Amino acid sequence: MAKQGFITTYTAGGRFDAPFFPTLTEPFIKGIRIVVNKNDAFVTNTYTITKKSELISIAIACDRYDDSDNWDLIVKGKAIVESVYTKELPEGLFLMVAHPLKSGDIVELRYKNNSGRSKNVYINYQFLIGKE
């Protein structure tokens, strides 16, 4: 009777290929504060990339949390996060893929203020960049 099963392998001393493993090495965090007024149905913030980088995660917090509020993240015109609802605590999202960016690319956060209440939204984009 033939043996059944599977073999597990890993890259010993090597690395995974991009985008599942970043290629740049220096951390860079860009913090942004968005003011949301009570009558704003949604607020869009755009951040223009100034140098070659890889977006690896985002952290978001609000000074007031409302159950119906949510947000999207668009990178280079493509939604990579859609309708994530705010929670009672700040939230960090590790993107699982290093999104490669070049100077001039746009990262856009759309905050949907379904509650209709004023608040401040705090965003940290975590990037890796090349050595200067």
Domain boundaries, the chain: 26-129
The encoded tokens of residue 91 equal 């939230």
pLDDT: is 82 or 89 the higher one?
82
**Which of these ranges, 12-26, 68-82, 91-105, has the smallest mean pLDDT?**
12-26
The alpha carbon torsion through 34, 35, 40, 46 (nearest 10 deg) reads -20
CATH of domain 26-129: 2.60.120.260
Residue 132 confidence (pLDDT): 66
**C-alpha dihedral sign at 55, 20, 79, 120:** negative
* Residues 118-131 pLDDT 10s: 999 999 999 999 87
pLDDT beyond 70 at 15: no
For the cut 70, the answer to whether the pLDDT of residue 68 exceeds it is yes
